[in-house]
Amino acid sequence: MALITNATLLDRVEVRRELRDLDVILPSLDSATAAGLRQINRPHPDIRPERIVDGLAAFREEFPGEIWLEIFLLHPFNTSDAELAQLQAAVDRIRPDRVQLNSLDRPGTEAWVEKVSQADLESIAAKIAHPRVEIISKYRRRLDIRAYRHDIEAAIVETISRRPCTVQDLCDVLGLRPLEVHKYLDVLESDRRLKAEIQDRGIFYRLLAP
């Protein structure tokens, strides 16, 4: 039995007591500074990162199961050296069994939010001093996808080059199913060949300048 949690109530003894019989807990800690937590999570004013870290550290002492600490990375709010140093100090206190790094796999709540690239995720993972650091963000490569057709990719690129399109627009023009379109868009986004933007009618994809 596993629990996914934002960890904001683990500073309470009665909450930690209720969770002791779990097998795995997956708490989030996206920043160990007040500024970073406010910018990324927009929490209630009473929620402070030091209380979250204190609660997780106390839970580690009492919990016989595994803790998989999830860190959602969002450029530039928690990717600076100063932010990563604070996160590292928190990891050292919490002593999780795993550290899982993640970033956006779809457009954020705000149009200006930037996901962390695969290369930067790998660089940050190398900096985290923990024996089990995992990157769990979605990252698709052509070689990972069976029956990847370059003619479909070319048709999608050509269509978007004429005007920005939603997934449904591409389905209507190319006669493809949404899941099929998403498969190619994931690869093109990973290659930084296109960008998703939130507009009134939905999420539009436009080509990036080469």
Regarding whether 192 and 105 lie in a shared domain, the answer is no
Q: Report H helices in the chain.
A: 13-18, 34-41, 49-62, 81-94, 118-127, 150-162, 167-174, 178-190
* Confidence at residue 83, expressed as pLDDT on a 0 to 100 scale: 96
- Say whether both 155 and 195 belong to one domain: yes
Tokens standing for residue 115: 């996901």
The predicted structure's pLDDT at residue 105: 67
pLDDT for 84 = 96
Domain of residue 64: give its range. Answer: 2-135
Rounded CA separation 102/34 (Å): 20
Residue 171: CATH number of its domain: 1.10.10.10
Give pLDDT, residue 203: 86
CA–CA dist 30, 87 (Å, integer): 8
Q: Are 165 and 182 in contact (CB under 8 A)?
A: no
Asked whether the beta carbons of 8 and 43 are under 8 A apart, the reply is yes
129 and 151 assigned to the same domain: no
168-184 pLDDT tens trace? 999 999 998 888 888 88
* High-pLDDT (> 90) share of the chain, %: 64
pLDDT bin (cut points 50, 70, 90) of residue 112 is low
Q: What's the pLDDT score for residue 15?
A: 97
